[in-house]
Amino acid sequence: MPIVNRFADLHPEITEWRRDIHAHPELMFDVQRTAGIVAEKLRAFGCDEVAEGIGRTGVVGLIRGRETGSGRVVGLRADMDALPIMEATGLPHASTIPGKMHACGHDGHTAMLLGAAKYLADTRNFDGAVAVIFQPAEEGGGGGREMVNDGMLDRFGVQQVFGMHNMPGLPVGQFAIRPGPLMAAADHVEIEIEGLGGHAARPHCCIDTTLVAAHMMTALQSVVARTVDPLESAVVSICSLHTAGDAFNVIPQTVTLKGTVRTLSRQVQDQVEERIATIVDHTARAFGAQARLEYRRNYPVTVNTGAEAAFAADVAASVAGEGQVDREVAPLMGAEDFSFMLEARPGAMIFTGNGDTAGVHHPAYDFNDEVIPVGCSYWAKLVETAMPVR
């Protein structure tokens, strides 16, 4: 039976799995219910090995092919965690937990990889082994880093890793990918400004931290506009300003700014970090204040290796048709902690269309279940193409 037809038959069952996960969202590493369901299903499918608790709450299933002489091991990764957002879809399978929802499609990613695992464990039409990787804490917790640091890739002998993420706005059945940087590094910035608080009617007796913060926020916008090469990409966004107090007539002693920096290369990342440090220090001193900068590098750039990106695009074209694959999609300034796995092994992340839906991280978003046969077919075809039976 052709792969696409097989997943058409499995579509209703996989949809049920997806909607159950959607209704019971879990955050960060606290994905015990989801991970438990994943492990239970992998064992029921007949996976040769199922390991739990990798990278704290990650799950890996190993499926050996009909033949194993090639010695090849390919890793396929899905993420399991949700977001701290109040859902506003009104759907029958909407979140049952207030303040938590699957607003990025990780429920769909998990369900599609489970569907592919079921098919691969049943058919085993490949020479080698596939590790299906279910990761926690993609949304800011660095679960990918934790699984790599836990020795997951070495333990299962993974030689290449592939990831997939849904993309709202791209039609269902289409794919998008590029070699090289696909998604940005995500760094955290926190600036604590200390001045001299006092009565708002006596500003000459104070060092006004809100004024310092305002100048600092404005000056930081010059980093991208006047420091970074216009042909490069960078984002500096200060997204939070918090003062020590909320009285209308008190100049606060301290102000804290928080934000994010996004870059697509290490060179630009270094340049931006250095420039931010200079602006923070000099602006504070110009007003007689003090400032402490914490610049934390979080997720690295998601970089697709050239050969693996071309291979993934070819597989997608074999599933959807050549005209349905954008092989040079523009990089996104969002971040992905699949980047940690790509730093450790060659591989590629690909986007699959979610259709005309709300954007990810929006309270009205829902993963499009029509994507399921497409995504499952891509995973299965990738394994059978990468490790053909001779």
87 neighbors 103 (Cβ within 8 angstroms): yes
Kind and range of the H or E run holding 322: none
The annotation status of 376 as a binding-site residue, yes or no, is: no
Distance CA 131, CA 61 (A): 6
Written as six digits, the tokens of 31 are 């994905």
Distance CA 306, CA 312 (A): 10
193 neighbors 288 (Cβ within 8 angstroms): no
> Which DSSP symbol is given to 337?
T
What's phi and psi for 372, nearest 5 deg?
-55, -55
The annotation status of 242 as a binding-site residue, yes or no, is: no
The annotation status of 239 as a binding-site residue, yes or no, is: no
26 neighbors 350 (Cβ within 8 angstroms): no
The residues that bridge with 24 in the sheet, in sequence order, are: none
- Listing DSSP states for 291-304 in one string gives EEEEEEEEE--EEE
In total, the chain counts a number of residues equal to 390
**Pairing verdict, β 49-54 and 58-64:** antiparallel
263 neighbors 184 (Cβ within 8 angstroms): yes
The residues that bridge with 259 in the sheet, in sequence order, are: 189, 238
The annotation status of 24 as a binding-site residue, yes or no, is: no
Distance (Å) of CA 382 to CA 23, 132, 170, 180, 377: 30, 13, 21, 20, 8
Distance CA 187, CA 193 (A): 20
Distance CA 87, CA 363 (A): 5
Question: Annotated binding site, which residues?
Answer: 104, 106, 139, 165, 361
Question: Annotated binding site for Mn(2+), which residues?
Answer: 104, 106, 139, 165, 361
